[in-house]
Amino acid sequence: MHKYNRTLYSLITILIVYTVSFVIFVFYSISNFAFTDFYKRLDLRRKLAAEQMLNEDPRNEDFKWTYENVENLDKQHNFIVEFDQTHTILYNNGLDPALWKEISKVGHANFKIGTKFYSTDVYMNDGKMYVVGVSAENYFYTHHIAYLRNLLFISVVLGVLFVIVVSLLVKRSFLRPINGIINEVEKIGSENLFLRLKETEDKSVLNKLAITFNRMLSRIETSFETQKNFVSNASHELNTPLTSIIGTADLALSKERTVAEYQQSLTKIIAAADNLEKKTNALLLLARTGYENNGSNFKPVRIDQIIMDSDLTVKAINERFHIKTDFTLLPEDSMKLKVYGSSALLQLAFSNIISNACKYSSDHTAYVALGALDNSVIVLIKDEGIGIPEQDLPYIFDPYFRASNTGNFSGYGIGLPLARNIIRMHNGKLNVSSVLGEGTTVRIELPTVTSF
């Protein structure tokens, strides 16, 4: 946050320095132009005065300064001074003697004293040296430049205030959402990984940051839950078959048995070991989905193809299962059906859900519908089976949890948690709604390639 503040303050300083420098440049340029232009006008009148002096005797009482087609400048004053080699004044017509030391005695000179501008030059006439000059006030300099100076000063003050106010508004509007994100992130810990940053519909950078962070949180939550539950789930689920194996073996070895009794004990041990193997494989599969895949090997895959492959997989598992797929809502643009993902993992997720739908329905039929929105693809998997009791719905994603009305159906409670982990890895959402005795609907939404 301090870095953002330093950057903002540096930007404000740069803008202020640039504004002041620009104003100084403008004022200097206009002032310099006003000086140069006015000196040119003075030079013209000084040359005309010198020409008249060379044609007429300035000592004549009837001598007057006259110009043709050239108007006098504001408070214009002409003067002529005759001087010797020691710069002593021999004749003075119109020059204040106090200014003699300011005037060049060797050539052309332009200078300014107070508000008056001077143009002088040295001339030779009949072996005599003269200084001819013209002075006048620059109305543009004394009035317009002063007005411009005041105007630019006020503009600089207002500009600086404007930059500061706008910068503070930008700081507030830009840093406030960042502070909000920081405050929300600080609330998230290992005990509440389900929390998410607020997302909006706009396409701002901060919203994209929130979406990306939420996706990362989903992956972390999946891995963390898997890690947290792995030991307890393993000890709980593996304890029953291990206890059965040990108990059966101890009982068989407690005394001499007949061959038939030993065979019966070994049969029980094999059944328990087979159950142990299945549970171990399911547990490891659930763990791998939480740890191994981070999306680095994902590529565009078509969901309609995944659905068809899942149908074949489910029918191969149990030939009594039937799947009715509705493709009537498919979009014309095939890109709207493509998502970034792993076809193997997605097929595993859909196969588990479709298989469950068939298993818990009396007619062993699952209904699958596929459609697309602008930035996502929707898959609905519905059955008309036993449904899930309302009190069991909050726990259906807990590993090895089975609803209270599934006692007559085989299973390990691993399908839905496994499917949810896979869908989360693909930045998707999985929701389950159910009515007891009427059936269950699973809604899966996955972002398409076009949304990235």
Instruction: Indicate whether 291 pLDDT > 50.
Output: no
pLDDT band for position 297 (50/70/90)? low
Q: Are residues 260 and 306 in the same domain?
A: no
CATH code where residue 244 lies: 1.10.287.130
Instruction: Indicate whether 213 pLDDT > 50.
Output: yes
Q: Are residues 353 and 232 in the same domain?
A: no
pLDDT value of position 72: 78
Count of domains observed in the chain: 3
Instruction: Indicate whether 27 pLDDT > 70.
Output: yes
Q: Are residues 267 and 408 in the same domain?
A: no
Span 31-36, average pLDDT: 76
Domain-located, residue 197: no
pLDDT value of position 54: 72
Which residue, 292, 307, 337, sits at the end of a domain?
292
Q: Are residues 126 and 84 in the same domain?
A: yes
Which residue, 262, 292, 322, sits at the end of a domain?
292
Q: Are residues 304 and 390 in the same domain?
A: yes
CATH code where residue 421 lies: 3.30.565.10
Span 234-254, average pLDDT: 74
Q: What does R_g of the chain's alpha carbons equal in angstroms? A: 48
- 157-166, 347-356, 427-436: range with lowest mean pLDDT: 157-166
Q: Are residues 317 and 393 in the same domain?
A: yes
Domain-located, residue 95: yes
Q: Are residues 38 and 130 in the same domain?
A: yes
Instruction: Indicate whether 379 pLDDT > 90.
Output: yes
Which residue, 142, 168, 191, sits at the end of a domain?
142
Rounded Cα distance between 177 and 183, Å, is 10
Q: Are residues 283 and 239 in the same domain?
A: yes
Parent domain of 245: 204-292
Domain-located, residue 189: no
Domain-located, residue 19: yes
Q: Are residues 210 and 310 in the same domain?
A: no
Instruction: Indicate whether 368 pLDDT > 70.
Output: yes
Highest mean pLDDT among 11-25, 198-212, 221-235, 431-445: 431-445
Domain-located, residue 154: no
pTM for this entry: 0.47
Q: Are residues 300 and 447 in the same domain?
A: yes
For residue range 42-56, list pLDDT tens digits in order: 888 888 888 877 777
